[in-house]
Structure 1
Amino acid sequence: MQEKGVSEKDTGPRRKGCDPLSQTVRGRLQSRRQKLNGQINKEMRMRAGAENLFKAASNRKIKEQVAMELSFVNSNLQLLKEELAEINSEVEAYQTDTFLRSVPLIPLGLKETKDIHVKLVFQDYILEHYSEDGANYEAEIQEFMDLRQAMRTPKRTTEGVDLLFEYYNQLYFIENRFFPPDRHTSIYLTWYDALTGIPSVQRSIAFEKGSVLFNICSLYTQIGARQDRSELQGIKEAIVNFQKAAGGFRYLGENFSHAPSMDMSAPVLDMLEALMAGQVQECIFEKRVLGGIAEDIQTNFEIAQEAAVVSDAYGKVHRLMMHPKVKDYIPYSWISMMLVKSQHFKASSHYYAAMGYTDTKSTYDQSTLERVFPSIYLEPRALQVPRTQEERKRLSKAHIRQALMLHEEALRVHGLSKMLRKIDTLEEVLRQSHDRSMGRYTELDEEDDFFEMMDVPEIRGETQQVPKPTPPDFTIVKVKDIFHTLGPLAIFNARNNWSAPRVVDIQRGMEGFGFTVRGDSPVIVASVDPGYVAAASGVKEGDFIIGVNDDSVKWAKHGDVVKLILGSQRLRIELVTPLSTDFLHPQDKRRLNSSDSAGSSQMDLNESIASGSSTSERRQQPSPKKAAKENPNGVKSPGRGKGSEISNGSLPKGVSMNGKSSVGTGKKKDRANKGKGSDKEGAKKARGVLNSKAGLW
């Protein structure tokens, strides 16, 4: 299918949280990424065809021509991947619009996808599985397609995140409605790798959900990167969003074990989670030093340890990036930036340690130094606590010298990367930090200093705020099932099967219709009395009533269906029969293996599914004359509770109406209780069974 750029008219009706992004730098990058994905896909198809032709060809001349064409395709593919890697290395376009004097953070671009055409597939499935006319659901299908199109271009705000969550949550209903677990549909879902642009095609809805969740995490990284970290609130927002991204990548790795593409493989997700945690730690450090710090021994040492934590975090990310499966996959500039940041913050930790030893603006406190000295170094025994001004100065100079060496290494690595050299703010921060340390070293350096230069050990990292990856909260956006009218999802889903709908016409007789109902959404035929019009018309125990007098009652409550039946002299009901026992409630399953408290015998499976009533509750059939005499009006008003008695005959005295509605059986209930316990106890236990929702699971 031919790819095209995203424009506003392509997104259909504008939804809240959707932005075609056609006028922003980030939007142009995303559009360019989409075009590159299409070109890479085209080149890969050409390469696959050329390779197949090379294998099949036997003529030497043809093989040489195919090999030459294959080399051209590989060259074009390599150029396209390099251009895509350059887009993925772009970080400044995702930063805040205001001028920042902080190191840029790494965001992720969104995964791209192809259009899918589900109209015919959904309509055919609705006709095949739900026995309804798929043409009646064109509006619902179009609404789903509009939602999918809108989520491809979300805003870089919380509204954009909500839009992605809305689509993700809607996929729960779509999966249960249209994707049976025992076979694949003919819907092919195509998503491009976030970094390489290589397409992956699957027919599993789990692939769609995983890709959307990846985009949710990517959007969190973009929102976090754009925050103004020169303000406290901006730093806090960045921390929150990067923690959400880290939690999302962790959730993705734990729940999507079979990676359909490299960007969702376990090594890459582990690296991305660590990267987000490192960027959270960097924001925590920036929050600690925002607005300046108190120039005393305790504070400087704490800041030095905070910087050491950031350095360690980025060192871990760098090691994960050097994984064989990750190293050749991610942009080279990311690896370089992790090494630069690790060296930069390690240098900062030594700089603040040096500032702690040369504290001249506060009273020197030897006891404080002796207390914090062992906790700041990984190997404190390599040094002794300085006790004189000269010893402190010498130790401070050693730390500054170490900081200068690390700053110079960071600048060297920065200069080796073409993409990092384009980031002006990064180079500026590195230069300023280096000049700051150089100025301090110049102040401490003296011509008559003949002491041998000390080697200081590594600083122990310690933070006051540990990053906490926040798992995705799918409840933040409430959605309504688009295909709500197909019926309650617990019953009418792709897993369950039932017979084709059948319409039954029943003429009310003097004895009534002859069946009982229970439950709601949908109402179920609890029992059918043999010899009456309902049984003769084909009504069966366990049937779902989905229509009454041409009105759909899939979602109707028990009382509403009873009223519709009561108001009909000639009843027209639409029924379906479940084809499996999955609709049994655990309570009904237990009762299959034991008799109830009223001394009933064990029921068969169909009776348990239908009503859960006991054999001791069978009604006796009065004569038609007696029934007419007891109820001359022919109608009994509904009772209370879950169900009520509906009959042309009278309701015998003392008969319980718990959870079932008798639709014109005209029978009296046997009041004899032959089981254990009193009549009152037996009725109480029977009510506990009959008030369940008709065996629905």
Structure 2
Amino acid sequence: MVLESKPFISSAIPSSESQGCDPFAQTQRSKLQHRRARINQQINKEMRMRAGAENLFRATSNHKVKETVALELSYVNSNLQLLKEELEELNSSMDVESISVPMIPLGLKETKELDLLAPLKDFISEHYGEEGILFEKEIKEFMELRQAMRTPSRNEAGLELLMEYYNQLYFLDSRFFPPTKSLGVYFHWYDSLTGVPSHQRALAFEKGSVLFNIGALHTQIGARQDRASLPGLNQAIDAFQKAAGAFNYLKENFSNAPSLDMSIASLNMLVRLMVAQVQECVFEKMTLLRAQHDFLTQLQLAQEAARVKDVYSLVHQTMTQAHVKDYVPFSWTTMVHVKSEHFKALSHYFAAIALCDCPVASDAELPEQEKAFIQFHVTMPEGPSLRVLLQDPEERRKLGKAHLKKAIMKHEEAMRIHGLCKILRKMDILQEVLSFAHKRSLSKYSEIDHEEDFFETGDAPDIHPKTHQKPEIKSPNFSQVKVTDLFHRLGPLSVFSAKNKWYPVRRVHLMRGENGFGFTLRGDSPVLIAGVIPGGCASEAGLKEGDYIISVNGKDCKWSKHAEVVQLLKSTGEEGVEIGVITLQGSEGPKAVSHIPSLRWETQEVPQALAGRTGLRPGCAGVSAARNPRVPGMCPPAPPSPSSCVKPPSA
């Protein structure tokens, strides 16, 4: 998907869709986000007060002042603790969009408004030699896009809006962020879970925060789906897989993030959490598709539930690690632990149903059932041989009873853990699900329990986890949203970028001589002076090999094709022609691009949608100073082609 560089196309998304949702709209999720923004601002205020009080406490030697400041610090710390508890409760609002068993969605990171008008105008004037005021429209359009992406709608349009802004950041980075100089702009973002503010001058922090919000928005879309229907389950699976992909992409491409929510440990936890929620949806999908109560189906459901239990156990282990334990909301850790125990109980319940409710296999069905059952348990149960077990109803009942006993124990453990968390106790739907599953297992146990059973019910072996659909981590597809460089008028990005420097524009007046103008041309957008004939008009006027033609008789030629520039030169009369040219500094070769150490974005950062969209074409030689083969989206220099060197007729 190649970006059109000329004519100018504003965006592949209609402008009506490139708007954020109304921040005052009274939807459940928008109310939560509005409360989150308010709490973040209060946390920021309290932290600034605490920092000032701590500085005063260290600086003063007056005992009375120290006591007053210490008292004030205790008040501030108390307020901060209350605000963080309120934010934790907000992050625990899992049932806002939920229709089925609640999933865990993430709130969006909040950011402050950013005024780029003056910094970008100054940079355009200083670096590009253009009047900054002439680009106010483009700057304001970018700022409006940033403002809109702060409140994306909770649907595909909101995702496209975030993607559009993320893709525009590539152009902004290339145009206005040189590797050796800061623009002097700070990007402020709040931690998604703690509300602690962070700021950096690195544009990579802005990119990472937007990418985090793309993943967070996917979690909200997944959590709001009606998982009682097959289409809703498929959409939830897709959303959580894309969320896992966004967080994984962030984890692999960023380092030294200033906020905890973008640290390696936190992102690793979020990826595992999303994968676990995908696996839970796969189990729910299987219960919808396989409603029949035959032996093999019940075994598959048991193994699928065991797989869900395994992935949630892994998430719980990750959440209880030292670097994550104090950061993750307690309700999240409890919910994950509850689900781990709940699905282990379900796996044993379905195993009991397979053994007790399904008819004994016929001779024709026995080989297939033996093959499935031999791989069903982690360790084979004690007792008779496999064939006898499958064909003897009494032996099946005994093993089924053992599985039910274990299921009931795990149901009770899940309910006990659930009761430890005040926030989870408020979730009626979760409590109903746990209670229903527990009663169902108790009822089945009472049904198969006989008064004459004098044997002690054994311990059922664990069930081997197995899934028919492994979760897929889907990396963000940046190419799905086409964007156009808002600052297209500055010229092709191959030359007119922040990393390139050139000498001031020279205006050269040429008169056609007996041998023409005395130079040859090569390439497109912008056209390059490939050679200057010694002693000719061009040589005497000061034109050099490697100069770029940016105007002819006042007409802007930065984006002009080779043939267009030739035609302009041919059409000149006796009065001659005025050519505007620039010369790149350090044109002896490309310079290495340095990375900002505080937050590094790897070379994979360039969105797929932007590759090859910088105005370069294969074979456009003679601009090696403007290209670095390591920089994605820019093609390496091509050798000169005789066919590309054109000398104007009669020149």
Q: Cα distance, 1:533 vs. partner?
A: 2.3
| Aligned match for 1:298, one of 290, 296, 299 | 296
**1:373 has 2:373 as partner:** yes
Deviates more, 1:508-517 or 1:145-154: 508-517
**1:660 has 2:648 as partner:** no
AA aligned opposite 2:89:
E
Cα contact 1:546–1:553 (8 A) shared by 2: yes
CA distance in 1, matches of 2:260, 2:590: 43
Cα contact 2:121–2:133 (8 A) shared by 1: yes
**1:40 has 2:38 as partner:** no
Q: Show the counterpart of 1:603.
A: none
AA aligned opposite 1:661:
V
Cα contact 1:516–1:526 (8 A) shared by 2: yes
CA distance in 2, matches of 1:78, 1:453: 50
AA aligned opposite 2:73:
L
AA aligned opposite 1:560:
E
CA distance in 2, matches of 1:469, 1:302: 24
Q: Show the counterpart of 2:91.
A: 88
SS at structure 1 position matched to 2:189: strand
CA distance in 1, matches of 2:188, 2:279: 36
Structure 2 CA distance for partners of 1:217 and 1:327, relative to 1, 3 Å: same
CA distance in 2, matches of 1:38, 1:181: 32
SS at structure 2 position matched to 1:191: strand
CA offsets, 1:124-148, max 9 Å, x none?
1111111101000000000100110
Structure 2 portions without partners, runs of 5+: 1-14, 592-620, 625-640
SS at structure 2 position matched to 1:94: coil
**1:190 has 2:175 as partner:** no
Q: Cα distance, 1:28 vs. partner?
A: 0.8
CA distance in 1, matches of 2:376, 2:221: 35
Cα contact 1:247–1:470 (8 A) shared by 2: yes
CA distance in 2, matches of 1:353, 1:89: 33
CA distance in 1, matches of 2:647, 2:234: 63
Q: Show the counterpart of 2:114.
A: 116
**1:241 has 2:239 as partner:** yes
| Aligned match for 2:476, one of 472, 479, 493 | 472
- For the pair shown, the structure with the greater C-alpha radius of gyration is 1
Aligned 1:578-597 pairs, distance under 5 A: 578-581=584-587
User: What is the identity percentage for the equivalent residue pairs of Structure 1 and Structure 2?
Assistant: 52
Q: Cα distance, 1:665 vs. partner?
A: 7.7
Q: Cα distance, 1:367 vs. partner?
A: 4.1
| Aligned match for 2:503, one of 483, 499, 507 | 499
Q: Cα distance, 1:322 vs. partner?
A: 0.3
Cα contact 2:334–2:417 (8 A) shared by 1: yes
Q: Cα distance, 1:72 vs. partner?
A: 0.5
| Aligned match for 2:248, one of 247, 250, 255 | 250
Cα contact 2:570–2:649 (8 A) shared by 1: no
CA distance in 2, matches of 1:550, 1:466: 62
CA distance in 1, matches of 2:105, 2:463: 29
Cα contact 2:342–2:411 (8 A) shared by 1: yes
Cα contact 2:361–2:369 (8 A) shared by 1: no
Structure 2 CA distance for partners of 1:406 and 1:533, relative to 1, 3 Å: same
**1:425 has 2:408 as partner:** no
Q: Show the counterpart of 1:232.
A: 230
Q: Cα distance, 1:371 vs. partner?
A: 2.7
CA distance in 1, matches of 2:102, 2:188: 32
CA distance in 1, matches of 2:485, 2:590: 24
Q: Cα distance, 1:368 vs. partner?
A: 4.4
Q: Show the counterpart of 2:61.
A: 58
Q: Show the counterpart of 1:282.
A: 280
Deviates more, 1:287-296 or 1:251-260: 287-296
Aligned 1:428-439 pairs, distance under 5 A: 428-439=432-443
Query: May I ask how many residue pairs the two structures share in their alignment?
Result: 584
Cα contact 1:525–1:610 (8 A) shared by 2: no
CA distance in 1, matches of 2:284, 2:643: 66
| Aligned match for 2:136, one of 135, 138, 153 | 138
AA aligned opposite 1:57:
T
Q: Show the counterpart of 1:74.
A: 77
CA distance in 2, matches of 1:136, 1:127: 10
**1:532 has 2:530 as partner:** no
CA distance in 1, matches of 2:295, 2:339: 25
Structure 2 CA distance for partners of 1:363 and 1:568, relative to 1, 3 Å: same
Q: Show the counterpart of 2:400.
A: 396
SS at structure 2 position matched to 1:573: strand
Q: Cα distance, 1:379 vs. partner?
A: 1.2
AA aligned opposite 2:371:
R
Deviates more, 1:75-84 or 1:14-23: 14-23
Q: Cα distance, 1:183 vs. partner?
A: 2.0
Question: TM-score, normalised on structure 1?
Answer: 0.81
Deviates more, 1:574-583 or 1:24-33: 574-583
Cα contact 2:360–2:393 (8 A) shared by 1: no
Structure 2 CA distance for partners of 1:152 and 1:658, relative to 1, 3 Å: same
CA distance in 2, matches of 1:366, 1:507: 98
Cα contact 2:19–2:145 (8 A) shared by 1: no
CA distance in 1, matches of 2:259, 2:183: 21
Q: Cα distance, 1:452 vs. partner?
A: 1.0
Q: Show the counterpart of 1:593.
A: none
Structure 2 CA distance for partners of 1:572 and 1:382, relative to 1, 3 Å: farther
Cα contact 2:241–2:474 (8 A) shared by 1: yes
SS at structure 1 position matched to 2:122: helix
CA RMSD of aligned residues (A): 2.0
Cα contact 1:285–1:307 (8 A) shared by 2: yes
SS at structure 1 position matched to 2:507: strand
Structure 2 CA distance for partners of 1:306 and 1:124, relative to 1, 3 Å: same
Q: Cα distance, 1:389 vs. partner?
A: 1.5
AA aligned opposite 2:178:
P
SS at structure 2 position matched to 1:290: helix
Q: Cα distance, 1:536 vs. partner?
A: 2.0
Q: Cα distance, 1:360 vs. partner?
A: 4.3
SS at structure 2 position matched to 1:380: coil
SS at structure 2 position matched to 1:280: helix
Q: Show the counterpart of 1:575.
A: 581
Q: Show the counterpart of 1:689.
A: none
AA aligned opposite 2:21:
D
CA distance in 1, matches of 2:644, 2:392: 89
AA aligned opposite 1:346:
K
Cα contact 2:36–2:87 (8 A) shared by 1: yes
**1:20 has 2:26 as partner:** no
SS at structure 2 position matched to 1:349: helix
CA distance in 1, matches of 2:501, 2:254: 28
Cα contact 2:528–2:622 (8 A) shared by 1: no
Q: Cα distance, 1:291 vs. partner?
A: 6.0
SS at structure 1 position matched to 2:647: strand
SS at structure 2 position matched to 1:579: coil
CA distance in 2, matches of 1:382, 1:84: 51
CA offsets, 1:357-380, max 9 Å, x none?
113457555544433322111111
Structure 1 portions without partners, runs of 5+: 1-12, 586-607, 612-655, 667-697
Query: Which structure 1 residue ranges, 4+ long, deviate > 6 Å from structure 2?
Result: 582-585
SS at structure 2 position matched to 1:431: helix
CA distance in 2, matches of 1:383, 1:236: 42
**1:351 has 2:349 as partner:** yes
SS at structure 1 position matched to 2:528: strand
SS at structure 1 position matched to 2:255: coil
Cα contact 1:513–1:664 (8 A) shared by 2: no
CA distance in 2, matches of 1:183, 1:159: 36
Deviates more, 1:289-298 or 1:63-72: 289-298
Q: Cα distance, 1:531 vs. partner?
A: 2.4
Cα contact 1:110–1:194 (8 A) shared by 2: yes
CA offsets, 1:571-624, max 9 Å, x none?
011110011236689xxxxxxxxxxxxxxxxxxxxxx9589xxxxxxxxxxxxx
Structure 2 CA distance for partners of 1:260 and 1:657, relative to 1, 3 Å: closer
AA aligned opposite 2:434:
L
SS at structure 2 position matched to 1:87: helix
Q: Show the counterpart of 2:166.
A: 168
**1:442 has 2:446 as partner:** yes
